[in-house]
Structure formats: C-alpha cells, structure tokens
Amino acid sequence: MIGALLNFFYFLSTAARLEAAANSPAAQAKKIMLVGLLLRLGMVFAILAVAVHISTELFLATAVCFGVFYFATLFILARSELKKKF
C-alpha cells in the first residue's frame, strides 16, 4: 500500500510540475522540472529509507509495489498517447 501511495504522489507531483512548466517560459520551465525531479527523487528515497529502517520485508514490498505501479502508469500513459495519434 505504501508503494502504491508513493507512486500516486509521485505522478501527482509530476503532473503539477508539467502543467506549471507548460505555462512558463523555457528557461523557467527547465528550472521547474529540475526542482520537481529532485523533490520527487528525495520523496522516493526518504520513504524507502524509512521502510528499510523498519524492516527489510517492508522495504522490498514498498519498492516492488512502487515499481509495478510506476511501470503500469507509464504503460497506460504511453498507450493513451498511441490511441490519440491513431
């Protein structure tokens, strides 16, 4: 469950940063996306660090769940973009 929630907030943050960058000049958009990437990676590493301190099993469950939901979300996004083109 922790990995799924982590993935949800990861993509929610990504969507918010993309929307902000789309409405900004190029130089500012680059900075917005870079800061967003650092914040998202920090969030992932912080959650995984807490999970590894609790137990190895929790860490593995969180990491695997995040990975599965991450790749599933990317697959769904890619598939929806392909449907738009055709």
Q: What is the mean pLDDT of each run of 10 residues along the chain (86 residues)?
A: 83 85 88 89 90 91 89 86 76
Structural domain for 70, as ranges: 2-85
pLDDT of residue 60: 92
Can you say how many angstroms the Cα of residue 60 is from the centroid of all Cα atoms in its chain?
Answer: 18
Token pair recorded at residue 65: 């769940």
**Nearest 10 degrees: Cα torsion 48, 53, 55, 60:** 20
pLDDT of residue 55: 92
CB 16 within 8 A of CB 61: no
